[in-house]
Copies of this chain bind each other. A is one copy, B any other.
């Protein structure tokens, strides 16, 4: 079974760095920084990985010392150079903004960076045809390898919902870009865990009040 990246630093095999999503660390801003007296550039914390610090300061374009959601959205791009959806950025912020400050500090960034790298490995592994997007059968294989045994109907719903464009009547839905693939997997994980928590006697059925049902659904990314 393949392991979906966890929040706490799971590690697994990385097939390579050929495609998939990436953090576009805007190195050019390091040289075009205005010579303002008011721009405070804190140094790296002791023991910092210099490469990671370079990425962090590249994403932190206003040199505030922490990364806003907007800076993160500017920095995160899919393999086809499209930006991450706001909903994926919000999901990442909610996972890694541990101190709920609304921004990502360097320590939080280290976790975020690892998480994205882990997911890049997963994405490239399952993007068998290296098309840069995950197609239906690749999605099915990925979710199966994570331990989710979903019906063809559910797989089709996920394929359509997370496709990076609407489905036309002719042919299959378009593929799923990196950021939407991560979101799809996290949503399936979150909903499945919520269902299992509610199914206390493992009957395969749950009883929900309206409040419980809506709360579970609206809490998922």
Interface residues of A (CB under 8 A from B): 69-70, 85-87, 89-90, 93-94, 97, 99-103, 150-151, 153-154, 157-158, 161, 163-170, 188, 191-192, 195, 199, 204-211, 213-215, 217-220
In the complex formed, the residue of B with least CB distance to A196 is: B210
B166 and A90 contacting across the interface, CB-CB below 8 Å: yes
In the complex formed, the residue of B with least CB distance to A89 is: B166
Residues on B with C-beta less than 8 A from A97 are 166
In the complex formed, the residue of B with least CB distance to A153 is: B215
**Residue among A97, A103, A158, A165 facing the most chain B CB atoms (10 A cut-off):** A165
Known contacts A102-B170, A166-B89, A217-B191; A207/B207 CB under 8 A: yes
Residues on B with C-beta less than 8 A from A103 are 168
Residues on B with C-beta less than 8 A from A151 are 211
Work out how many copies of this chain go into the complex. 2
**Residue among A150, A170, A214 facing the most chain B CB atoms (10 A cut-off):** A214
A217 and B220 contacting across the interface, CB-CB below 8 Å: yes
A166 contact from B69, B169, B207, B220, Cβ within 8 A: B69
B206 and A213 contacting across the interface, CB-CB below 8 Å: yes
A102 and B169 contacting across the interface, CB-CB below 8 Å: yes
B70 and A165 contacting across the interface, CB-CB below 8 Å: yes
**Residue among A69, A169, A191, A210 facing the most chain B CB atoms (10 A cut-off):** A210
CA A206 to CA B212, docked complex, whole Å: 10
B90 and A87 contacting across the interface, CB-CB below 8 Å: no
B209 and A204 contacting across the interface, CB-CB below 8 Å: yes
Residues on B with C-beta less than 8 A from A89 are 166
